[in-house]
Amino acid sequence: MISLAGRDVLHAWGKFVFTGVGLGLLIGVTLTMAGVYRGMVDDAKVLLNNSGADLWVVQKDTLGPYAEPSSLYDDVYRSILGMPGVARAANVTYLTMQVRQHNRDVRAMVVGIVPDGPGVPGYLMAGRQISRSHYEAVADIATGFKLGQVIRIRRNNYTVVGLTRRMVSSGGDPMVFIPLKDAQEAQFLKDNDAIISQRNRTSANPAFNQPGAPDLLNAVIDSQSSNPYVNAVLVQIKPGYSAEQVAEPVRRWKRLQVYTREQMEEILVAKLIATSSKQIGMFLVILAIVSAAIVAFIIYTLTMGKIREIAVLKLIGTRNRTIASMIMQQAVGLGLIGFIVGKISATIWAPMFPKYVLLEPGDALRGFIAVVIICILASVLAIRAALKVDPAEAIGG
């Protein structure tokens, strides 16, 4: 037996291919949407993996530092270092802001790290880690900065000494690492006028400016113009300890919130990108419905254009099964073309997206199965119409 579906498609391949390509672009968008979500989840995981931390110590009752603001005194880490099972602990700050390079602005997450501490980016594409405690920066490649370039954060200039990749915040902003001290200053920094006027106000206050104690005024002004806060403490634990084993006493004794890596991942994925994922899920549903409608409509139209042939096929003894499978094969064929076009186009345009788009083979497989099922369902309408065709129509009047 020859393939009636195949012959029909070959005969009218132009119509078929154009429709398939149109459908394919739609499927490409669908796959990309799924990839955007996967990319967000993956970014979160990479962020956590590259942070080099086993535990995040943050302000009590917060989901910090990524999901909520968190603020700790910068000497807290010392007492954490003394807790059992803690190998290393270091302060870290996060601040999303505009970073200037020459005459362009890049939105970035500025991360203040202790050079050599946990929290230095794990992998560099080029250059080296920060080695001085001031005015050096390691930037993510997505910022577009180059090695040796000078960037401006607030009032200070930093030289880019190293480049990372895939270090982005959960909001998708590339990271720029600078020494902790500089970052604390940047977070706190007031403009010059504000500093001068505050200094004047403090000097005018007789409680601080006492004739017998000249150092008091200086100490007060110093404390006013420095920032003793950080956003979190990153902790690495000693081998042989479990994360929870170390986290629990810190929570209890230090009245701080401690998150393990699993918990942090849960916060990032379930809380931070939950709305985005619902948004994307909604898109996927709509795209699936639209694709189904298109396939159904096209297959129905193609079938209606063959009513007379179908009547003749029935008259000369073709079984309903043969006719139904002809229509279904065409629907599935259309889906196949669409899927291939969709997969290729998604692969082509995914790297052009500003945020990471992760096309997972598993998603492609699920997409493929969905396309096939949608096409089969969409052909039902056309098959029903075809089975209703009266073979007497072939004989005419």
Partner 1 sequence: MSTSPAGRGIIIEGMRKRYGEGDTAVDALKDVNMVVQPGEVVGLIGPSGSGKTTLLKCLGAVIEPSAGRMTLGNNTIFDNGWMIKDLRALRRDNIGFVFQAPYLIPFLDVTDNVALLPMLAGLSNNESRQRAVELLGALDVAHRAKAMPSELSGGEQQRVAIARALVNKPPVILADEPTAPLDSERAMSVVRILNQMAQQYQTAIIVVTHDEKIIPTFKRIYHIRDGSTHEEAGEGRAFD
Where on the chain is the footprint of partner 1 (CB under 8 A)? 1-2, 4, 7-8, 10-12, 308-309, 312-319, 322, 390-392, 394-397
Q: Is 211 in the site for Mg ion (CB under 5 A)?
A: no
CB of 397 to Mg ion, least distance (A): 5
Q: How many Å apart are CA 165 and CA 143, to the nearest integer?
A: 10
> Where are the strands (E) in the chain, listed by range?
55-58, 72-73, 86-101, 104-113, 126-127, 136-140, 150-153, 156-164, 175-179, 229-230, 232-237, 257-260
Residue closer to partner 1 by CB (options 115, 391) is 391
Nearer to Mg ion, 317 or 397 (CB): 397
Select the binding partner of residue 11 from partner 1, Mg ion, none (C-beta < 5 to 8 A, by kind): partner 1
Distance, in Å, from the CA atom of 337 to the CA atom of 379, rounded to the nearest integer, reads: 16
129, burial (CB in 10 Å: exposed 0-12, middle 13-18, buried 19+): middle
Residue 319 binds which one of Mg ion, partner 1, none, with CB within 5 to 8 A depending on kind?
Answer: partner 1
Distance CA 50, CA 98 (A): 23
Q: Looking only at residues 378 through 397 of this chain, which bind Mg ion when binding is defined by CB under 5 A?
A: 397
In terms of phi and psi (left: phi > 0; alpha: psi -120 to 50; beta: otherwise), the region of 52 is left
CA distance 122 to 164: 9
Instruction: Quote the least distance from Cβ 345 to partner 1, whole Å.
Output: 29
Q: Which residue, 213 or 392, has its beta carbon nearer to Mg ion?
A: 392
Burial class (CB in 10 A: 0-12, 13-18, 19+), 325: middle
**Residue the block writes with tokens 């084993």:** 245
Nearer to partner 1, 302 or 378 (CB): 302
Phi, psi of 113, deg, nearest 5: -125, 155
Closer CB to partner 1, 255 or 308, in the complex: 308
Q: Which two structure tokens, joined as six digits, stand for 254?
A: 């230090």
Shortest spacing between CB 314 and partner 1, in angstroms: 7
The entry of Mg ion, partner 1, none that residue 276 binds, CB within 5 to 8 Å by partner kind: none
Q: Which of partner 1, Mg ion, none binds 88 (CB below 5-8 Å, type-dependent)? A: none
Which of Mg ion, partner 1, none sits in contact with 274, Cβ below 5 to 8 A by type?
none
Q: Give least dist CB 294 to partner 1, A.
A: 23
Q: How far apart are CA 136 and CA 177, in angstroms?
A: 8
Q: Which residues have a Cβ under 8 Å from the Cβ of 381 and sit 6 or more positions away?
A: 296, 299, 300
* Residue 325 C-beta: closest distance to partner 1, Å: 13
Q: Which does 87 bind (CB under 5 to 8 A by kind): Mg ion, partner 1, none?
A: none
- For Mg ion, the nearest residue by Cβ is 397
Q: Which is nearer to Mg ion, 351 or 396 (CB)?
A: 396
3-state secondary structure of 176: strand
Please tell me the distance from the alpha carbon of residue 260 to that of residue 54, in angstroms, as a whole number: 6
Cβ of residue 299: shortest distance to partner 1, in angstroms? 16
Nearer to Mg ion, 82 or 397 (CB): 397
Minimum Å distance from CB 395 to Mg ion? 8
Residue 317 vs 354, nearer CB to partner 1: 317
Provide, rounded to whole angstroms, the least separation between the CB of residue 304 and partner 1.
Answer: 15
CA distances 337 to 23, 282, 341, Å, are 8, 25, 6
Residues forming contacts to Mg ion in the complex (CB under 5 A) are 397
